[in-house]
Amino acid sequence: MTRILYDLALGDEELRPSAYCWTVKFALLHKGLPFELKTVPFADKSKYPDPDYGKVPVLVDNGEMIKDSPVITQWLDRKYPQNPLLATKAERAAAEFLAAWLSASFYPAISPYLTPRILKLARAEDQEYFRKSREARFGRTIEEFAATPGVAERVEAALGVLAAPLSGSRYLGGAAPNLCDYVAMGPFMWQRAVTTTDFYKAPEAVIAWRERMLDLFDGYARSAKSAEAA
């Protein structure tokens, strides 16, 4: 059986910034499913498994194509029920709430710091596409976006919320990680593609959890390359 996950790469193909691809990687590792990675660039959609869709993650499992990280993780639990990512309806509701909160809070907080750095690390032929697509999304230039005031403070406020459930549990899933942890770790892996050094002060509970996440699956995430070592 061939199982391929299409993953986004920067100018150095070992730099993999997509938070949503990282969620799927964790999910596949959680289930013990072997997979291959195939990298795609930002701009050349002809290299994508579905050029009209033109986004990642996309999982191709024995010829079946599944798109979008929430769809992929739900499909994995249906197709491969062993080692469930979410065991109950309550856990699924928690994961959906967490994903919505991240999109509304943590991602917007950290984006002004990471976006200009990702631009510089992207392939030269991808930079114009990246700039135009992000400036259309933000409604201003990347340089103006990067100058957003109070970035570190906004990140710290968001992480204070994340620290609350981690103060009494090793993982967001409780004693062991589940999809909630993999969804929450995604933006930290986005940051890790750029730097392993925090530009903000993270709560101790979050730092300890992140270290545990990096060590999962024989240190799979910890071994991911950062631009600091590029």
CATH for 89-229 (3.40.50.300, 1.20.1050.10, 3.90.700.10, 3.30.70.580) = 1.20.1050.10
User: What would the CATH number be for the domain defined by 3-79?
Assistant: 3.40.30.10
Question: What residues have CB less than 8 Å from 126, skipping those under 6 apart?
Answer: 11, 41, 42, 43, 44
Residue showing tokens 């994340």? 162
230: pLDDT strictly greater than 70: no
Residue spans per domain, the chain: 3-79, 89-229
* pTM exceeding 0.85: yes
Do 89-229 and 3-79 have the same topology in CATH?
no
Within 13 Å and on the Cβ side, how many CA atoms surround 223?
A: 5
pLDDT, one tens digit per residue, over 105-136 is 999 999 999 999 999 999 999 999 999 999 99
pLDDT, one tens digit per residue, over 132-190 is 999 999 999 999 999 999 999 999 999 999 999 999 999 999 999 999 999 999 999 99
Confidence of residue 2 (pLDDT cuts 50, 70, 90): confident
Q: What is the largest CA-CA distance in the chain?
A: 50
| Nearest one of 121, 111, 107, 191 to 145, comparing CA atoms | 111
